[in-house]
Amino acid sequence: MKDWYLLYCKRSEQERAVINLDRQGVDCYYPQVTVQKITRGKRAESIEPLFPNYVFVHFDPEVVSYTSVRSTRGVADFIRCGTFPQKVREELIYNLMMNEDSVEHQRLLSMLPQPGEKLKLEQGKFQGLEAIYQEADGEKRSFMLINLLGKPVKVSVENTDLLKK
């Protein structure tokens, strides 16, 4: 009987792992989101994995062995519970599939400040400092420029620590 499992892949080798697993008849899923980034001064959309270095796989261990999946190029290992690969609930996978690139997710991304916008940090270790928003750093963090001892320093802070001026 087929079950879902979670694999940890080698750095930046998710796509290689998916291609090689697909050749073995293993169904793969790694959720991706569209992210807006500024490269060379221009805004561009790119597609990035929601969970970098992780791939969900769906297979029957009696047909394809754990060893052959684990030994696939690009794969580091299974996420385990003790010595056995941890099974992932089907509902979780289907919910991820249904919500991938949802309107709500895009709305949350659009709420981030614009690059160059001046902000005041409301919480955290840099509380009270004025900062200039640079770019998003993942789902819940942002890069900011703050002025420490007369020199601009780029730091990563939680998005919840931001307060627009």
Separation of alpha carbons 25 and 60, rounded Å: 10
pLDDT of residue 39: 75
Residue 157 burial class via C-beta count within 10 angstroms: exposed 0-12, middle 13-18, buried 19 and up = buried
pLDDT of residue 140: 45
Strands (E), the chain: 3-9, 27-29, 32-39, 42-49, 54-59, 75-78, 80-81, 84-85, 87-88, 118-121, 130-136, 141-148, 151-158, 162-164
Separation of alpha carbons 105 and 86, rounded Å: 28
pLDDT of residue 138: 54
β-pair partners for 5: 57, 87
pLDDT tens digit at each of 165 positions of the chain: 899 999 999 988 999 999 999 999 999 998 887 777 777 777 788 888 888 899 999 999 999 999 999 999 999 999 998 888 999 999 888 888 877 656 555 555 556 666 777 777 776 776 777 777 666 655 445 555 555 555 666 666 665 555 554
Domains of the chain: 3-108 (3.30.70.940), 112-164 (2.30.30.30)
Separation of alpha carbons 27 and 130, rounded Å: 48
pLDDT of residue 38: 74
pLDDT of residue 3: 95
